[in-house]
Structure 1
């Protein structure tokens, strides 16, 4: 898309910020922490004609972080965005990223600032696609298919406590690929992998996610120990900020394909990993860095470099729906992550609910994201609308 395209110009009259928390039953367990409730921070932008767009800011950790991100969005985004005309979301994304660069260093919060810009970017693209009367995937795609192909998904967030029970439920619902949390001790991880295979069968796509649990040596040992389980990938086995040479050694010296990207930020980081043999699967999170603008570029880069493009998401329904549209726009092989755990903010913050059939999601043809938050139904989960 060319930046002079008039369909991409916009002026936001108002930005609203909403915070939600819903109970997590059961709690979501990772190797580094437990989520006892499910937060969501939504942004709504509205133009002078009354057209709105929705975005979502990643806010799972720290546990107390959702309210802080909402205040940051209200305080720092409003004066930058309200009443100002932009020629495209890409221009806005670059300008805000630059405007916040020194602040990010000064306050030690580059992540928070990346996240509020990312959530805003999604909202802007939703607004523009709605204004154009097109589904978001078609509005941002280089390919102009008449209909959206089904988007393969996998059931994610399978906790280390009896994961096979949740997997059986999700299998019955139509999921055809699964990802298990590991990093809870070799014996427990091994027992869970065996239990999962018993339920999903020998040929069902099956991945594991260690959430940065191990050192390089531990990751090498774990990868070798898991080679007989037919795993499609091993996700974030060690710290995401480990040197690229360590990731390349890990890819070389153990048999499993490596996945990562949810904790990468910036074009340079994705360029480095896409050019390297270290990661076979790139997983940017559009609520954490990049929004549609950044992650669309990453998706295209992944396809050029022969990587699997699998957007990461573990939050509310707006971010999930945006991830579907992102994947549909990029095309190519790969999946979108869908949290298998109960979360009313996934369904109520994006109505109508997505349709799942035989392991894939079918998007509706409505403009923009094609969904709206049901603010009335979520009133019991509202922490507040943020006014600064």
Structure 2
């Protein structure tokens, strides 16, 4: 049974703010959760905490003060069963306060930790516990590249052997298009260019961009409009076919992903393991995405635990998806990855059991802002 929960919050300063069309991140947070069972087995998970600015500490307190009593004493050998049970048990609590996102994110981190624990106990890497025939490495693309800094950041990604780049747009239409044309003209034959508007536009503005970008050969346009925009708005963009549409980080629930697949508007579907579902929900969604002939590309912009979980999920799901790798400096991610993990544009999965994380390195202690615990 689960007898101990520890949650640790970190905030690392950024050399420069990370800008999106809807706001600016002025530091890099990470919320790591560790579950320990009565036999000593343990597992790590990560809870989404990028937004709002004070979200990391809130998620930690939500877990310990509200959700922990539902977790302690529960079996540690059935991650999916625990996640489904907690989803039911917290429904009214989330409804009462309107905080669907925070509850889902905490449950996602708990689920990943429980899967890590179970795989570690079995002596298997997480990906092998999900799919014995899974690949041991996955290709990556560089993300988090602000359009006005694209030339420099794309060159930096190239030095790591990366050949696919996602640029953040949605700031100024004409500036975005001009910069995209410049970057496109400098691409090598084997390189690909993606864009992410972070829900910046209405349907008419997004259509204008898509029509103006027809000749750029973009690999995808991610979240050009709000994730919850009417189905007719998404359909009006999908009919243009180029660039193909991507989204999924702001879709939640099994029904939500099934609807997205059925609607057919998204060519690339991007669940986030730290925002909803954990390994249980996201692996189920990933299988349905690939079976429907779409491409599963896990979204992730956080610390090292969540990135490793995303890599394991992508390898286990198969298909031709890419792993998102934020190009911006982040010690809460980089210091958790084993040496040699990223080589020539390929992310190599650790051979160690579970996710491959034993302990958090001491180098992170200077970034720690809060540690909370609960015991059975």
State the TM-score bracket (shorter-chain normalisation). Answer: over 0.9
The answer for the alignment partner of 1:57 in structure 2 is 47
Task: Give the deviation of 1:198 after TM superposition.
Answer: 4.2
Contact 2:222/2:245, CA 8 A, preserved across alignment: yes
Is 1:131 paired with 2:94? no
Distance 2:119 2:209 in 1: 45
Residues 107-144 of structure 1 show CA distances to partners (whole Å, capped at 9, x for unaligned) of: 01000000000000000000000100000000012xx2
RMSD: 1.5
Structure 1 residue 73: deviation in Å?
1.2
Aligned residues: 374
- Cα drift, residue 254 of structure 1: 5.4
User: Does 2:95 align with 1:105?
Assistant: yes
- Between 19-28 and 78-87, report the one with greater CA deviation: 78-87
CA offset at residue 275 of structure 1?
1.4
Q: 1:168-215: per-residue Cα shift (whole Å, max 9, x none)?
A: 011011111110000011121023212322443354111000000000
Match of 1:3 in 2: none
- Of residues 317, 337, 346 in structure 2, which corresponds to 1:360? 346
Structure 2 matches for 1:139-154, cutoff 5 A?
A: 139-141=129-131, 144-145=132-133, 148-154=135-141
Provide the secondary structure at the position in 2 that maps to 1:39: strand
SS in 2 for 1:29: strand
- When the two structures are superposed, what TM-score results if normalisation uses the length of structure 1? 0.93
Deviations 1:267-303 (A, max 9, x none): 1110011112200001000100000000001110011
Alignment of 1:45 with 2:31, yes or no, is no
Cα distance in 2, alignment partners of residues 121 and 85 from structure 1:
12
Which structure 2 segments of 5+ residues have no match? none
Query: Which of the pair has the greater relative contact order for Cα pairs under 8 Å at 6+ separation?
Result: 2
- Matched residue, 1:118: 108
SS of 1:278's equivalent in the other structure is: coil
Of 341, 357, 375, which aligns to 1:371? Answer: 357
Deviation at 1:15, TM superposition (A): 0.5
How many Å separate the matches in 1 of 2:55 and 2:240?
A: 38
Correspondence for 2:164: 177
Three-state SS of the structure 1 residue aligned to 2:148 is coil
Per the TM alignment, residue 90 of structure 1 is displaced from its structure 2 partner at its CA by 1.0
- Aligned counterparts, 1:244-255, within 5 A: 244-253=231-240, 255=242
Measure, in 1, the Cα distance between the counterparts of 2:76 and 2:365: 34
CA contact (8 A) 2:141 2:165 kept: yes
- SS of the aligned residue for 1:342 comes to coil
SS state at 1:255 partner: coil
